[in-house]
A = this chain, B = another copy of it.
Amino acid sequence: MKTSLVAVDFHGQACADCAVRGFSVCASLDQFEMREFEQLSRRTHFATCETVFAQEDTSSCFYNLLDGVMRLYKLLPDGRRQIVGFALPGDFVGMTTEERHGFSADAIGPVTVCQFAKGPFGRFAEDKPNLLRRMNELAVQELNQARDHMVLLGRRSAEEKVATFLVGWRDRLVELRGPSNMVPLPMSRQDIADYLGLTIETVSRTFTKLEREGIIAILPGGVSLRDSARAEAMAAA
């Protein structure tokens, strides 16, 4: 195991058989550009709960998530936390023109990222319309998600929030791993609460309520969507 990690950490070994090659930013690159791009990238691993970057860090790198799950969050000075998103493999995280990252990112469980120094990445992307358009597409997608999340935070009840989260999370996993109503939840209840603008107690109560109503079954490490039609109705309504 150790030796294989060392191997993939070496520049220029990774892209050809990268799990994320087909649908991440790099999908927009042809094989020659890819070759050059490889030289800029560096695979890195993070352990459970390790911080990849923090809110006030100088934004020196961008990250392409290859494996694992990350939580992205903002903190208020008094410690209140809002999770602005969970990142899954293929997500391009930390893109900004600002001097500092505006949010923190840390690993939920072990994480592998493909890391790019901001400067070289910028110079590489500068005159590559394909890549720039792809980055635009990703930014706009994220913006749409962000707006959906605003509706959720501002206008939905606790029950709707939880149902929407479960359905949305399942859909993302389905896209990544194929259909299943088993919904693994690697994040803690506190994470879910901070994502939904609720407290941990309310999240827990709402899970229990949804289970009593036969909509989900609570399992170790996740839930199973028993009545996904009803969950989807709650998420839509």
| Chain B residues in 8 Å Cβ range of A77 | 236-237
* Complex CA–CA separation, A103 to B144 (angstroms): 9
Q: Does A132 contact B (CB under 8 A)?
A: yes
| Chain B residues in 8 Å Cβ range of A97 | 136-137, 140-141
Min C-beta distance of A82 to chain B, whole Å: 4
Interface size class of A (residues with CB under 8 A): 35 or more
Q: Please judge, given known A-B contacts A129-B126, A136-B139, A153-B150, whether A144 and B237 are in contact too, CB under 8 Å.
A: no
Copies in the complex: 2
Q: Does A177 contact B (CB under 8 A)?
A: no
Q: Does A155 contact B (CB under 8 A)?
A: yes
A154 to B197, Cβ gap below 8 A?
Answer: yes
Q: Does A226 contact B (CB under 8 A)?
A: no
B132 to A80, Cβ gap below 8 A?
Answer: no
Contact for A96 among B74, B76, B140, B148, CB less than 8 A? B140
Residues 153-168 of A at the B interface (beta carbon under 8 Å) = 153-156
Q: Please judge, given known A-B contacts A77-B236, A151-B76, whether A143 and B144 are in contact too, CB under 8 Å.
A: no
Q: Does A35 contact B (CB under 8 A)?
A: no
* Complex CA–CA separation, A128 to B126 (angstroms): 10
Output the nearest chain B residue to A161 by Cβ-Cβ distance: B154
Min C-beta distance of A126 to chain B, whole Å: 6
Could you write out 8 A-B pairs with CB less than 8 Å apart?
A82-B151, A95-B140, A126-B129, A128-B129, A129-B132, A132-B133, A142-B143, A154-B197
Given contacts A97-B136, A154-B196, 13 further A-B contacts (CB under 8 A): A78-B237, A80-B155, A81-B155, A82-B151, A95-B140, A96-B144, A97-B137, A98-B140, A98-B144, A129-B129, A129-B132, A132-B136, A142-B143
* A-B residue pairs, 6 tightest by C-beta: A154-B197, A146-B146, A153-B153, A132-B132, A139-B139, A82-B151
